A and B are shown apart, each in its own frame.
Chain A
Amino acid sequence: DAGVTQSPTHLIKTRGQQVTLRCSPKSGHDTVSWYQQALGQGPQFIFQYYEEEERQRGNFPDRFSGHQFPNYSSELNVNALWLGDSALYLCASSYGTGGNSPLHFGNGTRLTVT
């Protein structure tokens, strides 16, 4: 079992560009959550997807959007990139939205905006 996999591992973009990050959940998991981790900070919740719908959202602008596919994999899209979007983006998966399934995290995608 590969666990949660994220691609790419590193990405460099220019201000104003758009980026798409991808996540495959752990086998058996159907819920995907995305987090942004700035340098020296704890992860910050962006949103959660379950049954192909956004179920919860953190305090992030509409430039951040996502999608979940029928196979439970997910994408995070960020439009009109700012320098401040430079961070490690973590994907976490779980089973259902209830409390019995702990989050499993991927290794993250390091996004640098220049």
Chain B
Amino acid sequence: AQRVTQPEKLLSVFKGAPVELKCNYSYSGSPELFWYVQYSRQRLQLLLRHISRESIKGFTADLNKGETSFHLKKPFAQEEDSAMYYCALTTAGGTSYGKLTFGQGTILTVHP
């Protein structure tokens, strides 16, 4: 069975500081990993996924299969990055993208 762990429920940084939100997963097969974000009073939305290898809003995430991790990083945090972040996993293979396994989420607060 798949499992996603986000060890930090709360994370606080100051504006301009680097930020890293941790995500570890367990899955014996080949996973697809995602980061979803929920800003205050907004709906859950996709931030990025590892297969596209793109940077969104300055965030990047690298899938490390050896360490089974998919940490989200940003070199210089901004106040507008304050939000709830969820790491999610699905099994690769095309038919499972509606079935995501989510972590418990990390609330990121960026102080001015």
- Residues of A whose CB lies within 8 Å of any CB of B are 3-4, 31, 33, 35, 40-45, 48, 50, 55-56, 58, 90, 92, 94, 97-99, 101-108
Contacts and interface: CB of A to CB of B under 8 A. Distances in A.
Contacts of B100: 35, 43, 45, 103
Interface in B36-79: 43-46, 49, 51
A45 to B, nearest CB: 5
B94 interface: yes
Nearest to B94: A98
Contacts of B43: 3-4, 105-108
A33 B105 contact: no
Contact of B44 (A45, A55, A97, A105): A105
A55 B102 CA distance: 19
A102 B98 contact: no
Contacts of A58: 99
Given A41-B104, A42-B103, A102 B46 contact: yes
A92 B49 CA distance: 17
Nearest to B92: A99
Contacts of A105: 43-45
A103 B98 contact: yes
B94 A43 contact: no
Contact of A33 (B32, B94, B99): B99
Contacts of B102: 42-44
